[in-house]
Amino acid sequence: MFSKEESRQLRQEFWTSFGKSFPKKWILYDTKIKGVAFKFNFDTKSALVALDLEDDLENRINCWEKLVALKNILQSEYLPEAIYEEEYYLENGKEISRIYIPLEQKVSIHNKNSWRNVMEFFNEKMTLFEAFFEEYRDIIKS
């Protein structure tokens, strides 16, 4: 078991190492669409990349409908394993809509032996996710 401080240090070390290994300016929150953000998530049980819709319900529904219309393209040309969840609940109980790609194997941010695999997964999947987004941004934004 790790103390909170040890866990914090491991997380910081992972993200610093990821940034050095894959020095790229990711879109993340800079989507230019209100309430739409890309996320990397790596904790003690899993890793995933996601596109989250966290705006008010009306805007979330509007954007979600466009992403659902593009689902076939996303899954056939970019990320066949993408999972669409219109009602996704974060740990804090907040409801969002999320499209995500989980890493299928068990990993933990506390296990440095899994870091390289997670970094490569993040780089590959987020690069494809962003390529899709850049291609269809105007449709999603409209």
At 126 the pLDDT is 97
Residue 63 dihedral angles phi and psi, to the nearest 5°:
-70, -40
pLDDT of 142: 82
Model-level pTM?
0.91
Residue 100, classed as helix, strand or coil, is strand
What integer pLDDT is reported at residue 108 of this predicted model?
93
Per-residue pLDDT for 3 more than 90?
A: no
Q: Cite the DSSP H helix spans in 54-96.
A: 57-69, 71-73
For residues 21-37, average pLDDT: 93
pLDDT at 102 over 90: yes
Using 50, 70 and 90 to split pLDDT, how confident is the model at 25?
very high
Find, among 129, 38, 43, 50, the residue nearest to 83 by Cα: 50
Q: In this model, does residue 2 exceed pLDDT 80?
A: no
Per-residue model confidence as pLDDT tens digits over 47-87: 999 999 998 888 899 999 999 999 999 999 999 999 999 99
